[in-house]
Amino acid sequence: MAQHKVNYTQDGGLPVALTSIDKIVNWGRSNSIWALTYGLACCGIEMMASGASRFDFDRYGTIFRASPRQADVMIVAGTLTKKHAEFIKRLYDQMTEPRWVISMGSCANTGGMFNTYATVQGCDRIIPVDLYLPGCAPRPETLQYGVMLLQKKIRANSASKAQKPKRLM
């Protein structure tokens, strides 16, 4: 016989929580942010560390996916070169909406130290970015905080289907 832990003497005797559609949808979205593995440079090492046991992204429901079709957030971790720019756009287009982008580290934010001909000066020239994480490279704690801020941002938005899709142009 299953040992369930529902206490029928509390909460009106019902194992039921009342909420709104927006809240339950946003709760689901914000607590299962699947991230696209997008390690482009050394920031990717910190992103991997965030996913590993010590920092453990699984606690937030953030699981790294190898396919953009299964991912909700793209963590651009590293230097975006001009040669790679078209591929980041292609991968972003393959992600299903709603989708979010975290620009991780100086290089992804502004080009960083690579003030050269071959580096895109900030990945927001190619795709719309929700969150910029400063640092070179940001510690895993920064990325954790960034994911929590993104959760907060997701909860603040309306969950309705009519939400405006993000476009750079």
Partner 1 sequence: MRAYTPKDDVQAKAYYTDRFYVAPQVPKQDVSTDPVFAADLEAISAKFEVKESFIQVENMVIYINAKDIYAVLEFMRDSLEYTQLTEMSAIDWLAKDDTFEIFYQMLSMNKRKRTRIKFFIKNGDAVDSVEKLFRCADWSEREMFDMFGIEANNHPFMKRILMPYDWQGNPLLKTYPLEGDEFAAWYEIDKIYGKEAREAIGPEIRDTARVDRYDSERFARLGYEQPKGTKITGNEEPTVQSYQEEGGVFMVTKFDKDTSKIIDDPQR
> What is the DSSP code (8-state) at residue 114?
-
In the complex, the smallest distance separating the C-beta of residue 1 from partner 1, rounded to whole angstroms, is: 27
- The candidate with the shortest Cα–Cα distance to 36, out of 101, 127, 121, 107, is 101
* For partner 1, the closer CB: 9 or 20: 20
155 binds partner 1 (CB under 8 A): yes
Q: Which of residues 105-134 bind partner 1 (CB under 8 A)?
A: 110-113, 115-118, 120-122, 125-126
Q: Who's near 136: CB < 8 A, 6+ residues apart?
A: 105, 106, 107, 112, 113
CA-to-CA distance for 38 and 161, rounded, in angstroms? Answer: 27
Stretch binding partner 1 (CB under 8 A), from 3-11, 44-52, 64-72, 83-91? 83-91
- Determine contact, residues 100/72, Cβ cutoff 8 Å: yes
CA-to-CA distance for 99 and 130, rounded, in angstroms? Answer: 10
In the complex, the smallest distance separating the C-beta of residue 81 from partner 1, rounded to whole angstroms, is: 9
* For partner 1, the closer CB: 3 or 19: 19
CA-to-CA distance for 113 and 95, rounded, in angstroms? Answer: 29
In the complex, the smallest distance separating the C-beta of residue 76 from partner 1, rounded to whole angstroms, is: 14
Counting residues that bind partner 1 (by CB under 8 A) gives 32
Contacting residues toward partner 1, per CB under 8 A: 17, 19, 23-24, 27, 31, 82-83, 85-86, 89, 110-113, 115-118, 120-122, 125-126, 145, 148-149, 152, 155-156, 168-169
